Structures are given as C-alpha cells and as structure tokens.
Structure 1
Amino acid sequence: MSSPAYQLRTRVPRIAEAAVERARLTVVPRRRVRAARVPFVTLVSLVLLGGVVGLLMFNTSMQQASFAATSLEAQAGTLTAREQTLRMELDVLRDPQRVAQQARNMGMVTAGSPAFLNLKDGSITGEATPATLEGNIPINPAQPALPAILNPPPTHVEAPATGAPTGSSGNGDGKKKNNKSHTNNNSPADTSR
C-alpha cells in the first residue's frame, strides 16, 4: 500500500500544512533598547554651564572696558582743561608789556636811537644816543580779563535776627502779634488818655 501515489497524497497535505503554519503572522514582542541618558544629560549640562560662564565673563569684561573708557575720558577732559590753563598762563607770561616790566624791574632800560657805520667808506649815519632811565617809555601792563563765569557778581545773604523764631509759622504769628499790639495802641481808649 505504499504506492507512490499514496505517499504523494499524504505528503502534500503535510507540506501544505507546514507552509500555512510558516506563513501565519505572529506578534513579536518589542525589544526596548534604552540609550544611555547619562552621557547626553552630562553633555547638555556642560554646554549650558559653559554658555553661562562665557556670558558672565563677556559681561564682566565689557563692564571693565566701560569703566576703563569712562576713566580715560575723565582723564582726557582733565588733561585738556590743564592744557588750556597752561596755554593761558603761557600767553600771560609772553605778554610784551609783562616782559618789558620784568626787564625794567631787573634794571634794564630801553635802548636809545642807534647810529650805523658804513664799512666801505667809514662814514657814520645817524646820531647815537645813550640809554637812560629818563628816556624810557612808560609801561602800563594790562590786567588780564576774566571770563564772566569766573568773575560773577557778589551774592549777599542776610542772616536771620537773633532770638527770632526760625519757622514760617513763628514769623507769621510774631507779625500778627505786632499788628495786634499796634492796633491796640491806636484804639479809642488809648486816645482818651
């Protein structure tokens, strides 16, 4: 009974059953693969920390540069004012009238009229006069003019009277009392005496 046809009939269903069983889909459970979170969190934390520290350092350096610039500007302003003051003092010292006055204080006198000698023929042109104190030109040094801001008009401040109350209410009450006493003196009762 084991004919080839019989074997083939019994074998085909088995092969078909095996193919059907293999072709069936089954649910496979998911494998959860966890990525390592610690390195990622560490990296993000380091980047954030580096950014904050960098911003703080940048802000600090900008503040220091701002303070240095302000200090240098103030120093430049002071030096400019000092330069202008020195220039004004130098102009005063170079004033010809001041120089002449200083020379006169040292005993120098103004030169007289000169005479000229012609070297070709030996002739003298002009008449030489000696320098004397009597022949000096009078020197009146001009006073340096001050700007209006450096020479303001005087300000007068009156001090309050001694023994008077200093409050506004005290001054007002005192005036009222004086007025009342003044009106009492002019009353008809006083004129009858």
Structure 2
Amino acid sequence: MSSPATQLRSRVPRIAGAAVERARLTVVPRTRAVRAARVPFVLFVSLILLLGVVGLLMFNTSMQQASFTMGTYQERATSLAAREEQLTAELEDLRDPEKLGRKAQREGMVLPTCTGYLHQDSGLVTGELCAAEQGTNLRLGDRVPPVPKAVDPDPIVVRVPSTDPGVSSTAADAAGDKQRERTSGNRRH
C-alpha cells in the first residue's frame, strides 16, 4: 500500500489539470452593447441644474428686496419716533403753567382778587367774595341762555288763502299766530 503522502502527490496533478481545463479562455461571440442615450439624460440634468440656479437667484433677489423694504420701514419708524418725541416736548412746553400765565397776562387777563364758589343745587355763592358780589344769590333757573339762530331758525310761514267761504282770512291768521306762540314758547324752555 502506498503512503498517504504519495497518494496526495499523485492526485494533485490530476486536480490541477482539471482546473486548468476549466479555466481556459474561450472566444465569446461579440455582441453589441446596449447603451442608454446620453443626450436626453444630459439635457435633463442640465435643465434641473438650470432651474436650481434660477430658483436660487430669484430667492436671493426676493430676500434682498425684503431686506431693502424692511430697512426703509425701520428708517421711517425711527424718524416718526423722533418726530413724536419732538411733538411731545413741544406740547409739554405749551402746557407749562408759567408760560400760560405770562401769555394770558399779555392777552389782557388779570389775576382774580377774590374767589367764590357757586353751589349748583342752591345757587349760593360762598368763599371769598368780591365787594360787588357779596350778598348776591344767583338763581340758575331764572335765566334761559340764548339759543343761537343756526340751531333754532325762525319758522317759515306760508299763508294760503282759504277756499272755504265760511272761514275768514283773519280767523286763519289768528290760528297761525297761536301756533307761532306755541312754537316760540317751546323754544324758550
């Protein structure tokens, strides 16, 4: 019997020969490779890139426009705030009591020598009265303030001759006079 090492040596060339047989290159018939059309793909990718660049430019332009508008409004708000502050200072200056007093004196107003208080419910004047007003009692209900003509114009009276032979024109005039007295009486109250 042979040793296992010799058996292994005799098998190796047979295995190697079989492997070489299997690994031999053979000529394969040449076939035409199917290629995808490059032009439409390149156009598609170029179109997407172009749309992306245009979109970015439009976005950038709109952001710049919004930034410009915001800057304009901020400047306007700042100038309006400054104007408001200036007008407030002018108003406070005009409200100054000392300046108001001087202006009133230049216009001919004088300081009162006495002060009195009028109580509306009783019509009495109390407090430090002037010599001419002492002992007077004002009656608020006695006098009715005059009503301006623009608010209460005179009524327009049109005299129409009567067609009824039984009514005289003097009777119609008397009825109109009574009506006028009633309307003018209502105006006084």
TM-score normalised per structure 1: 0.48
The structure whose RCO (Cα within 8 Å, separation 6+) is larger is: 1
TM-score by length of 2: 0.48
